[in-house]
Amino acid sequence: MEIDVLTLFPRIFEGPLEESILKRAQSRGLVVVRVHNLRDFTHDKHRVVDDKPYGGGPGMLMKPEPIFEAVEKFRRTDSRVVLMTPQGSPLTQARAEEFSRVAHLIIICGHYEGVDERVRAALVNDEVSIGDYVLTNGALAAAVFVDAVVRLLPGVLGDENSADDDSFTDGLLEGPQYTRPPEFRGLTVPEVLLSGNHEAIAKWRAEWARQRTRERRPDLLKED
Ligand code: SAM
């Protein structure tokens, strides 16, 4: 997969790329991420990227020209152009899986009051929100989106870190997990997990996943 990120603040986005699994995925060639400064697509002395909204109102809007120029430079026939916006469809595990099958993503990060509507109308294939709250800037949202998508690419998580049991993957939350020691401050690990009986362990985990989902996210259970 290849990803081009368009932002006014490349450094915000770069931090998450330089650590841990995202860093390793890039160095192993499983994903290529390029971060571009939208100011590089302006042509005036002051590299202006924003202007006042027509009709008045508070704040500034991102101008269409630099965004159009950047998208048109990077867009290919297999690209999906994604706008980060609180008005988009919420990011879910199912959507992250769908995006992980795209060859090339172009991600537009908004700032100020957002972007000129003509960007949505003419360039954008998908609008993605990371939740019902408003951030100052799309680069943070894009970092969350890229992390959720890239960890699902084949080979990015080793077996020891497989996404198969993660919450939401099978529609349920994951159940409780324990590591050594078997007893800590009087708190013990459930016997069954120490038993070596794989069938019993799988049954215990399935029951707990269901119970935890029922308690915390009953909306995820279709027939309960
Ligand atoms: N005025 C816009 C509105 O009410 O929809 C909000 C603009 S917000 C201050 C600035 C930028 O941050 C947005 O253009 C978007 O790129 C990003 N952003 C903020 N909240 C977001 C969210 N929940 N999900 C995705 N992107 C978000």
Here the CATH number for the domain that contains residue 183 is 1.10.1270.20
Residue 178: per-residue pLDDT: 98
Q: Among 116, 150, 184, which residue terminates a domain?
A: 150
- Do residues 198 and 93 both lie within one domain? no
- Do residues 135 and 204 both lie within one domain? no
Find out whether 50 and 60 touch, Cβ atoms under 8 Å.
yes
CATH number for the domain that contains residue 9 = 3.40.1280.10
Q: In DSSP terms, which residues pair with 81 in a beta bridge?
A: 106
- Do residues 126 and 99 both lie within one domain? yes
Index of the ligand 1 atom closest to the CA of residue 129:
24
Mean pLDDT of the chain: 96
Collapsing DSSP states into helix, strand and coil, what is residue 7? strand
- Do residues 53 and 82 both lie within one domain? yes
Is pLDDT of 224 > 80?
A: no
- Among the listed residues 14, 97, 166, 174, the single catalytic one is 166
- Do residues 175 and 70 both lie within one domain? no
Residue 86: per-residue pLDDT: 98
Distance CA 92, CA 171 (A): 11
Residue 68 forms part of a structural domain: yes
Distance CA 51, CA 75 (A): 25
- Among the listed residues 39, 151, 210, 217, the single catalytic one is 151
**Residue 147 annotated in active site:** no
- Residue of 6, 84, 107, 140 to mutate, ligand 1, most atoms within 8 A of C-beta: 84
Ligand 1 centroid distance, CA of 89 (Å): 12
Residue 190 CA neighbour count, 13 Å, CB half: 12
Residue 162: per-residue pLDDT: 74
- Do residues 110 and 194 both lie within one domain? no
Q: Which of 122, 121, 120, 128 minimizes the C-alpha distance to 102? A: 128
Distance CA 109, CA 6 (A): 6
Residue 31: per-residue pLDDT: 98
pLDDT, greater one: 221 or 223 = 221
**Residue 151 annotated in active site:** yes
- Do residues 16 and 117 both lie within one domain? yes
Residue 90 forms part of a structural domain: yes
What's the pLDDT tens digit per position in 149-179? 999 999 999 765 678 778 998 899 999 999 9
User: Which helix (H) or strand (E) segment is 98 a member of?
Assistant: helix 93-99
Ligand 1 centroid distance, CA of 19 (Å): 25
- Do residues 129 and 201 both lie within one domain? no
Ligand 1 binding site (Cβ under 6 Å of any ligand atom): 84-87, 109-111, 113-114, 129-131, 133-138, 141
Residue 55: per-residue pLDDT: 97
pLDDT band, residue 113 (cuts 50/70/90): very high
Residue 157 forms part of a structural domain: no
- Do residues 64 and 112 both lie within one domain? yes
Question: Structurally, how many domains does the chain consist of?
Answer: 2
Cα–chain-centroid distance for residue 101? 14
- Do residues 113 and 201 both lie within one domain? no
Ligand 1 centroid distance, CA of 13 (Å): 15
Residue 102 forms part of a structural domain: yes
**Residue 113 annotated in active site:** yes
What's the pLDDT tens digit per position in 6-56? 999 999 998 999 999 999 999 999 999 999 999 999 999 999 999 999 999
Residue 32: per-residue pLDDT: 98
- Do residues 90 and 126 both lie within one domain? yes
Residue 74: per-residue pLDDT: 98
pLDDT band, residue 124 (cuts 50/70/90): very high
Q: Which domain holds residue 99?
A: 2-150
